[in-house]
Each structure stands twice: as C-alpha cells, then as structure tokens.
Copies of this chain bind each other. A is one copy, B any other.
C-alpha cells in the first residue's frame, strides 16, 4: 500500500511520466509486422529528428542508455582504437570503462566533477595526436552525477581548431529534450540518449542519432556486433519496421511523448527547464549550501547537486526525506557518495511540484538536523513568481 498522495520522484531520471504517456504504453500490443505498426514506426522516427535537431537517422534500441553507449562505440570503432574522454563525473567515467571493456583504448584528458568539459584539454590532446590515432572524442552533455552541462559547441570548436578528424560522440542521455542540443549545427557525429529523462517515458528505450560520418565509419570499422548494428536497423526503419521485435508499448508512449514535446516547442521546453533550475539554485543558495557544480556557465537545467555540510550524511538525509515526505532524491555516486544529493527538475515537472520538492528538502534539513538557513523555498518562489508573469 503506497502512502497517501503522490510520490515525489525528484531524481534526475527516471523522471515522472505524464499520465497520458503511461496510458499510451498500456494499449494492447500489436503485430510488429503489420501495416498498423509501420505507421507507428514511421511516426516516431519522423518526430525524433527534430528533437535531436538533426536530419540524421535516429536508431531506437530496446535497451537502457548503457546499451546505447555500447552501440555508439561498437558501430564506429575497432578493437584497440584510441578514444579520448573527459571525466565530468561518474557517468563519463563509466562510459570510458565500458569502452575499455569492449576492447577500445580510452584516455581521459581531464577531470572535473564540478564543471563541464574543458575544451582546451581536448584541443591540446588532439593537437598532439599527429598520427591521428584518436578515433573519437566522447563526452557527456549533461553529467547526471554532478549537475554540470558541457558547452558542446566549444568541444566542437576545439576539435576544429585542432583540425582533427576524430568523431564527436556525445552522451545526452539526461540532456536530450531538457538542455539545448543541436546535433547538426554543432557537428556532433553520434548522440546517445535514453527514454526515461527529458523524453518523459519509462526506461527501456535508448537512442543513437547517427551522423553521416559515423555511418560511413560504421561500414568499415566496428567491433563484433549484431544487436547494436546500425546497418540493418536503419535499413528496415525506412519502411517503419525493425529487424527484431521492438518494444512496441514503449513506442506507443514515445509517440505520445514526442507529440507533447513538439506541441510545446523545444525552445519553450528548454526555457522551462532553465527556469526550474534557476529557482532550485536560488533555494540552494538561500539555504547556504553549495552547488557541486562550481562553474556557473555549466549549471545544469536538468538537476542540481547539493553538497552536504561537512560531517553530515547525504544518504541519511535522503532517507529522512523519503520516510517523512515520500520524496525520492538522487544519491551521490562513487567519488561523491554520501557527500551530495541530487534534485531532479526535468521532464514533466511544473512550478508547484518543484516548490513541493524544495520544501521537502528544506523540511528534511530541519528533521535531519542539517545546518542550513531557512528561506530556500521562499527564494525559489520569488524567482518563479517573478518569471511567471510572462507565462500567464
């Protein structure tokens, strides 16, 4: 028996799924080789491009985002290939570790858990690669473990400055449809994404948006692969079908979710996330607490990660909040385990839910005996009401 009222799911993904999207996923399954299915397939495929801001093909996998990480690498790179990464946090590190496990040679050119990728580090390393051994630059757009968003345009410019032909591969699992991502304009070769964040779906689908250069690479390179192989997928997608049984019901939901996003308009979606993020940061500041992201230009529109005062357990605090107020907050991962908690403000979230979430934090501080100043909720409300006029 769940507690009275709605659970507040304020982790940085999975994000709350709109009722209408959940209802769409609960339609009876259909024959994945029927004409009706082809309509569904073509519908979702045609709407995905605009969300990635690309004309490239977008491949849909029945898998988690981790699978799509693997897919991006194994379609384009060959065993022993060098890639460079930048450790913006736990997920950047995990992707790098995954690359290693499937036989690539990743090299981390820098590390910053309190900000975005330093493009200079990329540029420097690429310039030193006279032999053009580096085949890809792999960076995380929005680092879900820290709340920092990399300025991808700068990464592209760094690569251009180095005149290096490496592919630019971007994990935007928690960025897509929340933070601006212009695949074509920014010259990104592969974007990796997942369903359970800005797309407002349950987990279970992941994506590779595949640029022309990546597709070319996939024809001559790649590690042994079958499930993840782009070729067959893109071929069959032309007619709306998939080479193996797709996760039909999540596609129903995807179709509904894409309709919502496109009806709202991407720009408005990004602005809404930004507004929620600002309100949250105002609260953190008012509480006298520190944002893990120390670089304002990398503040994330998706989540905010809060450093606990020295000597206080973030996990104990999260447990208190869960017990007392039925809210889930994100935990600190690996290097920052128990040191931070994360507030997700992405996807299908609005002003009053956000204030409720921030109130859960502020009341939780009181209950858990965390040193803080009151007024965080009020500061957030001030921002939201000041910026509301234009909405109304």
Closest to A264 in B: B4
1/0 contact string of A367-392 vs chain B (CB within 8 Å):
10000001101100100110011011
How many copies of this chain does the complex contain?
4
Contacts of A324 on B, CB cut-off 8 Å?
Answer: 351, 385, 388-389, 391-392
Contacts of A381 on B, CB cut-off 8 Å?
Answer: 359, 362-363, 377
1/0 contact string of A6-49 vs chain B (CB within 8 Å):
11110101101111101101111111111000000000000000
**Closest approach, in angstroms, between the C-beta of A262 and any C-beta of chain B?**
10
Closest to A250 in B: B204
Contacts of A356 on B, CB cut-off 8 Å?
Answer: 352-356, 359
The docked-state distance in angstroms from the alpha carbon of A62 to that of B272 is 31
Say whether B377 contacts A351, CB under 8 Å. no
Say whether A227 contacts B63, CB under 8 Å. yes
Say whether B353 contacts A367, CB under 8 Å. no
Contacts of A30 on B, CB cut-off 8 Å?
Answer: 7, 9, 14, 328
Say whether B1 contacts A245, CB under 8 Å. no
Say whether B248 contacts A202, CB under 8 Å. yes
Contacts of A18 on B, CB cut-off 8 Å?
Answer: 2
Partner among B26, B33, B388 whose Cβ is within 8 Å of the Cβ of A325: B388
Best-buried of A260, A324, A350 by chain B (most CB within 10 Å) = A350
Say whether B352 contacts A326, CB under 8 Å. yes
Contacts of A34 on B, CB cut-off 8 Å?
Answer: 322, 328
Partner among B28, B203, B378, B388 whose Cβ is within 8 Å of the Cβ of A247: B203
Say whether A389 contacts B363, CB under 8 Å. no
Say whether A225 contacts B385, CB under 8 Å. no
Q: Is A327's beta carbon under 8 Å from chain B?
A: yes
The docked-state distance in angstroms from the alpha carbon of A392 to that of B103 is 49
In the complex, chain A residues 176-210 whose Cβ is within 8 Å of any chain B Cβ: 194, 196, 202-204
Partner among B67, B204, B377 whose Cβ is within 8 Å of the Cβ of A378: B377
**Closest approach, in angstroms, between the C-beta of A151 and any C-beta of chain B?**
25
1/0 contact string of A77-93 vs chain B (CB within 8 Å):
00100000000000000
Q: Is A101's beta carbon under 8 Å from chain B?
A: yes
Contacts of A29 on B, CB cut-off 8 Å?
Answer: 9, 14, 16-17, 196, 202-203
Contacts of A22 on B, CB cut-off 8 Å?
Answer: 26-28, 249
Q: Is A334's beta carbon under 8 Å from chain B?
A: no
